[in-house]
Structure 1
Amino acid sequence: MERWARELTARLPALAPDRYAVARPPAALAHRAGHAWEQLVLPAQAAARGARAILCPANLAPLASRRTVVVLHDVAPLREPGWYSDLYVRWQRAVLPRIAARARLVVTPSAFSRDEVVELLGVPADRVAVVPGGVDERFTPAAAAGPARAALGLTERPYVLTVASRTARKNLGVLDLAARRLAARGVDLVAAGGDRPQFRTEADTAGILTLGHVDDALLPGLYAGAAAFVLPSLYEGFGLTALEALAAGVPVVAGARGALPEVCGDAAQLVDPTDPEAVAAALERALDDPAPWRAAGPSQAAPLTWDATARAMDALLAEIVA
């Protein structure tokens, strides 16, 4: 969601400068204070500017406005509340149906999320548009891996990468068997990603080298230097990190759940994310014969760019304000 917000606030004004103005809360406001700004200040600012629509790119929108176009990336807290804190689930159950009902248009990043929104929030299908997310030009097989290795303290040993927060829905615990088999081959299993306060976290998995939050500038090289990438997620509204790995030409093993089959297509090995043996075996196949997967990934990712996302969003918004 954060990347969507960053990309759209940069690309939409560049695409049509006269059509867009960016509204941001003060830097000091975060979490609950940021929600208060969104609910109380944002609609007043939009009205003062004469805005005919408010694009909210991160799953929430001001309840007081009927001019919103909201991007709902997923509705996982309603589908699987056990993955989240009780307070967060109560908040999502209270606001998501109201936001969706009042929005001029709901946008989702995948057909999977569209179907979830229709089913769980009762939004008519003709009020939900699918606009996929994207990947920028930094994510290529040619990205320099050396600076990322040096900055993150990685050795010269080959590594399999996962980029995911340490939360229950990402299902990193299933990688225990894979970590042991990779270690026997002299390959590290490396995880990039931090924790989120609203998510229930998983215990650390033995054998995984945890990097924590990785600076955005290092991510392209971290992907490109990997021998393979794995995302055993149980639920993804899109699967941005899998797409970034495909663009970087890295063999991808992903869970056959949520939107991951939609995003990865035939360019990744899709496996049952609850089966440790299936995940470990797929990673071993990727290491034994990486060439077909390295060739397939960039082609699969090529149409999914942030420029394409911005153009599709601009077309929807232009129609609404007209």
Structure 2
Amino acid sequence: MNLLVNAVPLLAIPTGIPRYLRNLYGTLQALEGPESVQVFCFDGKRSLRGLPKPVEPGPWTRKRTLLEKIPASLLLGFRCARWWAYEQSLRWISAGRRYDLYHETGFVPAAQSHLPTVFSLYDLSLLRYAETHPRDRVLFFEMYMKRRLHHATHILTISRFVQDEIQDLFRWPEGRISAVPLAPDAVFSPRPADRVVHVKKRLGIPGDYLLFVGSLEPRKNLWGLIQALRICRSHIALVLVGWSGWGEKTWLGEACRHLGQRLIGLGFVDDELLACLYSGASALVYPSLYEGFGLPIVEAMACGCPVICSNTSSMPEVAGGAARLVDPRDPEDLAAAIDHVLESSQYRQELIRKGLARAARYSWERTARETRAVFEKVLEEARS
């Protein structure tokens, strides 16, 4: 099977979607079997064998920060022009019949009819929580989604929750949608205590700490977390890991004012450092309003870190009874959960034990095999 993939999301730092694609295709190419998959990555101009190299976080982040300052109307025009050029190039390159299948990994399916298309739709936050996204991104999605969705032969998503949402909202046929879960990277496993102590000393993290991992964007509900920490009995530190994201940051000023030196922002960190931070944290606190999956939940569990996460969207499905679930819109509920985890060593150990077992149920090999089965099914139906 010669598979053409939209590689544009891979030209970003390895957060959610890029991490998913790198793990999926790295594992897919390593699988043995008669139905080998040859992956060709299309960046909008040319098709190349293998995955593009990861970008440098510093330059990428600075570029994104500058783009944030451009008015939404101009960014929308730029985004539409780029997408038009992408579709034109894709139609030309797919017409050569060199490829068997196209995997669309962007926000909407591209308009091309030469190849059957598997469209990865990770969540519906651009519809459900439009106010938490950059305005140009929302407008682009609204302009193109209904006009392009019919170009998708099959939708691939990452949780049963999102699968049900897609079927309900778009009346999408059940036989043309599949949910295949994500998994923690192999790098995420418990780190030795001396290694954790070394990392904490290097980063200036004193004593115990709570950890948040993710882009600092409105949907992650960091303001709710700050409110909860203000009423917690504990005065534990909070470590924030992730790039600055988008949206207003008034909550950050409030956090600095109320938490002072207890608030430690690290920005984007590499995976080895992140594994150490998970391993040393008293708990991962993930109060997001909405997630299609929530990779930090299983990454933390794989490192032996107790997890406190929201009881909304896909998160109860992903956590599978191995996390303390809270109402993300209720700071008192979140504060009570934090206090319980910090004050009860027995409960904390129970969460660690259940979390390690839950994380072990996810693997990129399983994800790759199930995804390959979807590709094979779509290709077989297209040929029949």
Check whether TM > 0.5: yes
| Percent identity (aligned) | 32
Is the aligned partner of 1:116 residue 2:165? yes
In the alignment, which residue of structure 1 is the partner of 2:276? 221
Whole-angstrom distance in 1 between the partners of 2:116 and 2:236: 52
CA contact (8 A) 2:159 2:314 kept: yes
Paired residues for 1:262-281 under 5 Å = 262-281=317-336
Per-residue deviation, residues 209-247 of structure 1 (Å, max 9, x unmatched): 222222233211111111111111110011111111111
Paired residues for 1:198-237 under 5 Å = 203-204=251-252, 205-206=254-255, 207=259, 208-237=263-292
Whole-angstrom distance in 2 between the partners of 1:50 and 1:213: 38
**CA shift for structure 1 position 167:** 1.4
Whole-angstrom distance in 1 between the partners of 2:341 and 2:39: 46
In the alignment, which residue of structure 2 is the partner of 1:190? 239
CA contact (8 A) 1:38 1:61 kept: no
In the alignment, which residue of structure 1 is the partner of 2:153? 104
Whole-angstrom distance in 1 between the partners of 2:38 and 2:198: 37
The alignment partner of 1:278 has SS state of helix
- Supply the AA of the counterpart residue of 1:308: R
- Supply the AA of the counterpart residue of 2:204: L
Is the aligned partner of 1:251 residue 2:296? no
In the alignment, which residue of structure 1 is the partner of 2:71? none
- Supply the AA of the counterpart residue of 1:23: C
- Supply the AA of the counterpart residue of 1:20: Q
In the alignment, which residue of structure 2 is the partner of 1:166? 216
The alignment partner of 2:182 has SS state of coil
In the alignment, which residue of structure 2 is the partner of 1:295? 353
The alignment partner of 2:183 has SS state of coil
The alignment partner of 1:63 has SS state of coil
Partner residue of 1:7 out of 23, 32, 35 = 23
**CA shift for structure 1 position 125:** 2.4
In the alignment, which residue of structure 1 is the partner of 2:186? 137
Is the aligned partner of 1:55 residue 2:103? yes
**CA shift for structure 1 position 306:** 1.3
- Supply the AA of the counterpart residue of 2:273: L
Rg: which structure is higher?
2
Partner residue of 2:38 out of 9, 12, 20 = 20
- Supply the AA of the counterpart residue of 2:368: A
Is the aligned partner of 1:319 residue 2:374? no
Assess, with a 3 A threshold, how the Cα gap between structure 1 residues 220 and 45 changes in structure 2: closer, same or farther: farther
- Supply the AA of the counterpart residue of 1:14: A
**CA shift for structure 1 position 200:** 5.9
Whole-angstrom distance in 1 between the partners of 2:85 and 2:283: 42
Whole-angstrom distance in 1 between the partners of 2:363 and 2:326: 26
TM-score of the pair, normalised by structure 1: 0.89
- Supply the AA of the counterpart residue of 1:115: D
Aligned CA RMSD, in angstroms, stands at 2.6
Per-residue deviation, residues 37-59 of structure 1 (Å, max 9, x unmatched): 64233343343352121123344
Whole-angstrom distance in 2 between the partners of 1:110 and 1:201: 30
Which of 187-196 and 273-282 deviates more?
187-196
In the alignment, which residue of structure 2 is the partner of 1:86? 135
- Supply the AA of the counterpart residue of 1:242: I
Where do 5+ consecutive residues of structure 1 fail to align? none
**CA shift for structure 1 position 36:** 5.4
In the alignment, which residue of structure 1 is the partner of 2:123? 74
The alignment partner of 1:162 has SS state of strand
- Supply the AA of the counterpart residue of 1:13: Q
**CA shift for structure 1 position 194:** 1.8
- Supply the AA of the counterpart residue of 1:231: Y
TM-score of the pair, normalised by structure 2: 0.76
**CA shift for structure 1 position 168:** 1.4
**CA shift for structure 1 position 255:** 0.8
CA contact (8 A) 1:255 1:272 kept: yes
- Supply the AA of the counterpart residue of 1:167: E
How many corresponding residue pairs? 319
Is the aligned partner of 1:64 residue 2:108? no
Whole-angstrom distance in 1 between the partners of 2:342 and 2:182: 28
